[in-house]
Amino acid sequence: MLLDEDSQAKYLVYLLQAAEHDVITVNAVGLMNRSDSVVLDYARQDGRVLLTRNCDDFQELHQANPVHPGILAVYQDSDTSKNMSYQAIVKAIANLETSGYTLKNQFVILNQWKY
């Protein structure tokens, strides 16, 4: 899994790794401040699902070229109490995995998997 600039908090990385996910951040691979298309291209080439909070831009990229390992989008609300915690993100990914849902070529709104 590749964590976008807006999703690479150390605690989230720790929680995902504790849940046995192979996680790298855009910072670790030298993609900080690079365009979203460059980040998605890296995810494609490295075979990594992308986790981002930059939903609108990555949805546009997905619509332009839906061939990728998958995009997990975490929408944020102006009411911060409605936003997903790091633990909720990890749980939603687990729910998604348990369901058997195929991520390849999909833009998945992770908030819908929070239950």
User: What's the CATH code of the domain at 108?
Assistant: 3.40.50
Of all residues in the chain, the percent with pLDDT exceeding 90 is 91
In this predicted structure, what is the pLDDT of residue 10? 95
Task: Provide the residue type at 109 as one letter.
Answer: I
For CA atoms 97, 101, 105, 108, give the dihedral sign: negative
Question: Token digits for 90?
Answer: 């990890």
Q: Per 3-state DSSP, what percentage of the chain is helix, strand, and coil (rounded to 5)? A: 45, 10, 40
The amino acid present at 63, given as its one-letter code, is Q
The per-residue pLDDT for range 6-21, each reduced to its tens digit, is 999 999 999 999 999 9
Q: What is the pLDDT of residues 94-103, one digit of tens each?
A: 999 999 999 9
Give the chain's domain count.
Answer: 1
* Domain region containing 103: 2-113
When pLDDT is cut at 50, 70 and 90, the band that residue 115 belongs to is confident
Global pTM reads 0.94
- Among positive and negative, which fits the CA dihedral 113, 108, 46, 88? negative
Place of tokens 């009411």: 79
Q: Is the pLDDT of residue 5 over 90?
A: yes
Residue from 102, 84, 100, 103 nearest 92 by CA: 84
pLDDT digits (tens, 9 = 90+) for 20-46: 999 999 999 999 999 999 999 999 999
62-77 confidence digits (pLDDT tens): 999 999 999 999 998 8
